[in-house]
Amino acid sequence: MKLALYQGPSPAGDVDEALQRVDTMLAAAAAAGAGMAVFPELFLPGYNQPDLQRALAQQAGGAWEDRLAGLCRAHGCGLAIGWAERDGDRLYNTASCLDAGGTTLARYRKIQLFGPVEQATFAPGAAYVTFALGRYRAALLICYDVEFAHHVSALADLGVEVLLVPTANPAGFDAVPDFLVPARAAEARMIIAYANLCGHEAGLDYGGRSLIAGPDGVALALAGRGETLLVADLAQCDGLDKARLSTQAADRRVI
């Protein structure tokens, strides 16, 4: 299976622009043979847009997901993407994963809210979600979640092999894509796709450096600072020498 990962600027509240970008990049991902494309955190309506998140957030199964499902069907490519979800009087920082036929495979609410703005805007999620992605068992986390080893370890214990992570990592935090994400992938013997924003939005600069890390911690594909579409064939991990992969999960001792 080929996996695509889109790194680009935030649509900054322009929902029509966001959906047009999804349309364009899904077409490109499908042309490259990808079965799934991963987009950044809160791509609808934008990450550093708390007022618009409150005003525009939608219920699950609303117009945004309907439109995204149609784009998946049109291009024959699945999609994982972050968006602002409203459930009653609460907002959630949510990611959905849809298959190539537009069926929703999973919705996940971010557990680890980062900083005072997120914490003032969203309620935290409280559950993991796993699902089938081709021949792989997959799951979603969102940005800050993946920096906590126990979340990735818990998903590995559930049999997860591929982790999709929509992200909005600011500039100045390169240690996350450069060190933490590869370490999490190696510790858990898991493929991690970390899709970040780049550019500038409402006073916030993003760091880019999105990557798809293999279960040995080595990057299958790595972005720089600018807009790009990464594509990697996950099957290249099949030939890894299992004897050289981490045995931490089996060897772990608790005292």
Domain definitions of the chain by residue range: 2-235
**Two structure tokens written together for 121:** 């805007």
* 181-188 and 149-157 helices, crossing angle to 10°: 30
Which strand (E) or helix (H) includes residue 136?
strand 136-140
pLDDT at 113: 98
Mean pLDDT by 10 residues, the chain (255 residues): 98 97 98 98 98 97 98 98 98 98 98 98 98 98 98 98 98 98 98 98 97 98 98 95 90 91
Please give the model's pTM, rounded to 2 decimal places: 0.98
Q: Give me the amino acid identity at 204.
A: L
3-state secondary structure of 84: strand
* 48, burial (CB in 10 Å: exposed 0-12, middle 13-18, buried 19+): buried
Contact 46, 52 (CB under 8 A): yes
Residue 62 φ then ψ, to 5°: -80, -165
pLDDT at 243: 86
**Topology given in CATH for the domain delimited by 2-235:** Nitrilase/N-carbamoyl-D-aminoacid amidohydrolase (3.60.110)
